[in-house]
Amino acid sequence: MYSSFAASSSTENLLPSRSQDHQYSPPEECAHRAPCPGLNTLANHNYIPRSGTGITFLNLISAVAKVYNLSLPLTLLLALPGFIIYGRFNFPSCLPWTWSYTVDLADLASFGPYKIAHPASLVHPNYPSHAPDPDLLFDFLSFARSHGQAEGSPSSPISCTLIKDLPSPSPPPSALSTSPLQPSAIRPVITSGLSLFDFAQLRIARESQLSKPLNTLHEQIALGESALTWLVFHQTGPSLSDKAGACAPPDHVDNDLIVPVDRLVSWFGEEKLPDRWFEDVRPQNTIGLLQARRVAGQIQKDTEILQWRKEASKV
Ligand code: HEM
């Protein structure tokens, strides 16, 4: 079992060793799975037990930090609530060294005001779920396939597309004055996939299907899930603003960067790490808590702008 812990951006000691089998294998029938592609993928690659049961805290945080290259504070923020809410003590004998505190993935599927699962997941239905829902997955991937196709801007030779069905009045004063946000809907993107603005659209689409809005906790969790997905899987390389010679501030969130569709298919659909994960795809720099917070905030601002436009189009 994979156990050493260190959040490192080096890939040297991350490549599967001969003694550890981290080949992808879909879950066996009796295995536990969660409504979380992040954790199910770790189980399908044996970074946490393939059975999805008896996962210890150290095993989980070492796997999350190493596989996705998340910082220790961010990993703890994700893992601690999971263990507090769903953890259970095991006392197989009266010998203290046999005692453990573990989680089983299937327990994470339960719903409730203080549970993590919520009814506006991107690919999981509104009831306890252990695998992506085929219809939601299809809609999600179709949306991703139809978005992000290169469509120009002043700095690009290709023509410009605005997101369909959205009126485009001036942004509300609050959005203009408080934020450097420029929705990627009116900016160029490179290939088929999801930008931050696309994630905002998806969030609105899912939440508009609910009979009552998400509570604040679940709203923040949902934003955090989209932010993490974008941070871990977006393509790297020079962004369009870099090409234009702009000097980005350190806390800049680049709306141009998208998560390519093939990564979404692999991770959300098969719950599998994209090919050549450690060599080419895994984030090169460790993703931190503040960075995740900033990106979630950006998606939230995008959703507010979209809502505002929707309201404005009704009057
Ligand atoms: C480390 C401990 C973690 C725990 C306890 C956890 C738990 C959960 C739970 C309970 C859900 C269901 C919420 C819902 O209804 O949408 C969920 C969803 C999700 N998780 Fe995790 N997660 C963890 C780590 C991660 C990591 C590391 C990632 C990304 C790299 C991730 C990405 C996601 C995404 C994208 C969803 C939403 C899936 C959807 O919308 O269909 N999670 N997680």
Tell me how far apart the terminal alpha carbons of the chain are, to the nearest angstrom. Answer: 59
> What does the DSSP 8-state code read for residue 89?
E
pLDDT digits (tens, 9 = 90+) for 98-125: 999 999 999 999 999 999 999 999 999 9
Nearest residue (CA) to ligand 1, atom 21? 36
Nearest CA to ligand 1 atom 2: 79
User: Which of ligand 1's atoms lies nearest the C-alpha of 232?
Assistant: 30
| Ligand 1 center to 218 CA (angstroms) | 12
Ligand 1: nearest atom to the Cα of 83: 5
Do the Cβ atoms of 311 and 36 come closer than 8 Å? no
Q: Is 218 in the pocket of ligand 1 (CB under 6 A)?
A: no
| 184 alpha carbon – ligand 1 mean position (Å) | 25
Q: How confident is the model at residue 8 (pLDDT cuts 50, 70, 90)?
A: very low
Instruction: Report residue 183's pLDDT band, with 50, 70 and 90 as the boundaries.
Output: very low
Among the listed ranges 183-192, 265-274, 278-287, which one has the minimum average pLDDT value? 183-192
Ligand 1 atom closest to 82 (CA): 5
**For residue 220, is pLDDT > 70?**
yes
pLDDT digit string, tens, across residues 221-272: 999 999 999 999 999 865 444 444 445 555 667 777 999 999 999 999 999 9
pLDDT in tens, 15-67: 444 457 999 999 999 999 999 999 999 999 999 999 999 999 999 999 999 99
On whether the CB atoms of residues 299 and 200 are closer than 8 A, the answer is: yes
Closest CA relative to residue 309, chosen from 166, 189, 194:
166
Nearest alpha carbon to residue 1 among 21, 24, 26: 21
Q: Is the pLDDT assigned to residue 315 strictly greater than 80?
A: no
Which of 3-7, 112-116, 178-182 is the most confident on average?
A: 112-116
Burial class of 15 by CB neighbour count within 10 A (0 to 12, 13 to 18, 19+): exposed
**What does pLDDT average to over the chain?**
82
pLDDT at 198: 96
Most informative mutation of 39, 58, 129, 291 for ligand 1 (most atoms within 8 A of CB): 39
The alpha carbon of 273 and the centre of ligand 1 are apart by a number of angstroms equal to: 15
Kindly list the strands in the beta sheet with 55-56, ordered across the sheet, starting from the edge strand earlier in the chain: 55-56, 100-103, 88-90
CA of 78 to the centre of ligand 1 (A): 8
Q: Is 287 in the pocket of ligand 1 (CB under 6 A)?
A: no
